[in-house]
Amino acid sequence: MKQSRKTRFMVQMAVLSAMSVLLVYLVHFPIFPAAPFLEYDPADIPILIGTFLFGPLGGLIITGVASVLQGVTVSASSGIIGIMMHFFATGSFVIVAGLLYRRFHTRKGAIVALAAGSLTMTVVMVIWNLIMTPIFMGTPRAAVVAMLVPVIIPFNLIKTTVNSIITFAVYKSVSRFVDAEFAKKKAAKAEM
């Protein structure tokens, strides 16, 4: 029985990781013409759903797998820096949102968790952009600082807010589906 749960857990996490990579492949577009390299993508939605289903550690594992898969396929040009930025940005969101949602497992708790995760990720991305963008793009740090208020902060707030709203809208349906599938398989095994 324990092996079945572990297998189910691993399969669900793999599916969510694959969905994350597929979403970034299918949907990505710049929001601010001044920074076309900053593209919105919904890749964090399956990761956040996984975080709410499996907790912050599960969400962090999905984030790690998705970051590496995305970094060697869809976003291969960003290399190790892209993988690191994705992992630390989404990972910060996942840890904060996952811990809060675990503690306050209600609709209001989910809203607070997603809002706090959004703000955390925005702050983390400010720091990472200040450190990594000059290295990755060869841009002077002063140019990055000049982009913080008009571009980088709004971009991250928009991206995390949109992904949070979609996650909030679909999470309960997804969790009911996952629970129903688990109940069906459990009932089928009990009949054997």
Q: What is the pLDDT of residues 13-64, one digit of tens each?
A: 999 999 999 999 999 999 998 889 899 999 999 999 999 999 999 999 999 9
pTM score of the predicted model: 0.89
Is residue 66 in a domain? yes
CATH code where residue 133 lies: 1.10.1760.20
Is residue 80 in a domain? yes
Is residue 130 in a domain? yes
Is residue 180 in a domain? no
Helix (H, G, I), strand (E, B) or coil at 74: coil
Which residues constitute the domain of residue 145?
Answer: 2-20+44-172
Is residue 63 in a domain? yes
The neighbour count for residue 15, using CB atoms within 10 Å, is 13
Counting the structural domains of the chain, the total is 1
Is residue 96 in a domain? yes
pLDDT at 182: 57
Is residue 99 in a domain? yes
List of residues 6+ apart from 126 with CB closer than 8 A: 148, 152, 153, 156
pLDDT tens-digit map of 100-140:
999 999 999 999 999 999 999 999 999 999 999 898 888 89
- Type of residue numbered 144: V
Is residue 185 in a domain? no
